[in-house]
Amino acid sequence: MGVGVLTRLSRMLTKWLTKEPEHPSESVLLLNFDRLSYELRPGDVILVEGRSKVSEVIKLTTQNPWTHAALYIGRLYEIEDEAVRKTVSRYIDTEPKQQLIVETLLGEGTVVYPLEKYRHEHLRICRPNGLSPKDAQKVITYGINRLGTTYDVRHILDLGRFMFPYSIVPRRWRSSLFNHNAGDPTRTVCSTMVAQAFQSVRFPLLPLAERADHGKLHIYQRNPRLMTPRDFDYSPYFDIIKYPLFGLDDLEVYRQLPWGDKDVVCNDAGDCFREIPEQVLEDAVNEVETTSTEKPQKEDTIKPLRSVKTAKGEPS
């Protein structure tokens, strides 16, 4: 009875933590999803700026907007090994040309989904620099072979502990991520799974470099349990590829972008105001100085900044 109650509570908490807002991300306007989809290569890492409550925890603890990492495995026919293709087909009923990703999600474990799932999210491609096609297939195979493994909930609990002051959390209850053992091989999290996939072919992510006494340099892989999505963005061995909504390849094409009122600046969507140009301010100040010796001036000669209505509607 007690176990059943705990299971239901766990499911309710997971649903609450992972629920995404229904409206599209404002940041999606920065991205050309169709172009990104066209340019993706099997073995690329896709970073996602999540918007769920658990994503906000990750942003807080890592001080970085990227909260999730997925491995792009391409279309079904791009997977060379027939046995691996059959494994994918057991987990998803997909069209041959549908683009697929492997990812590890709270409440679902390691799963395969269509790339289209993230059309309305802010994404970034991290491409392993110099990864051979043969090793790219091995990386993909590693991720596919992890399908069905469960999510490491202990990892989420460790993240949650960061929200409490250390003074009230016993030392023995602190994060298990720094343990020397590899943990339960049937459990993982998104960035750990992707990091292990690349480590399986000895591709560096953020290796530790050490010079021996005789001067020879050695590098060692870092603990994959310590990896977060931002590490793929930070790694010098991954190329960062962006596909903005507006391409700026042509000279001065940025001057043709559909800018709104040039005097309107925004703190956020719905939080915009009209900024007084410097020349207007200078002229107003000069006028005040000129007329101050003639007669007293009323206060507020220069009107304060005010909120304005933009294409998104009324300001908040």
Backbone φ, ψ for residue 209 (5° rounding): -100, 140
Q: Which residue has the tokens 């972008």?
A: 257
Domains of the chain by range and CATH? 24-241 (3.90.1720.10), 259-307 (no CATH)
pLDDT of residue 218: 79
Beta bridge partners of 74: 100
Q: How far apart are CA 165 and CA 163, in angstroms?
A: 7
Name the residue with higher pLDDT: 297 or 25.
25
Average pLDDT over residues 289-315: 52
pTM above 0.75, yes or no: no
Q: Which residue has the tokens 């107003």?
A: 284
Q: Within 13 Å of residue 252, how many CA atoms lie on the same side as its CB?
A: 1
* pLDDT confidence bin for 254, thresholds 50/70/90: low
Structure tokens at 294: 């003639």
- Evaluate the CA torsion angle 93, 95, 101, 106 in order and state its sign: negative
**C-alpha dist (Å) from residue 42 to 39, 47, 76, 139:** 10, 15, 11, 9
Is residue 233 within 8 Å of residue 64, measured between CB atoms?
yes
Distances 221 to 73, 145, 149, 179 between C-alpha atoms, Å? 23, 21, 23, 15
> Which segment of 80-84, 110-114, 174-178, 282-286 scores lowest on mean pLDDT?
174-178
Task: Give the pLDDT of residue 84.
Answer: 96
Determine the Cα–Cα distance for residues 261 and 274; give it in Å rounded to an integer: 9
The candidate with the shortest Cα–Cα distance to 46, out of 109, 123, 150, is 123
The per-residue pLDDT for range 168-180, each reduced to its tens digit, is 555 445 455 444 4
Q: How confident is the model at residue 66 (pLDDT cuts 50, 70, 90)?
A: confident
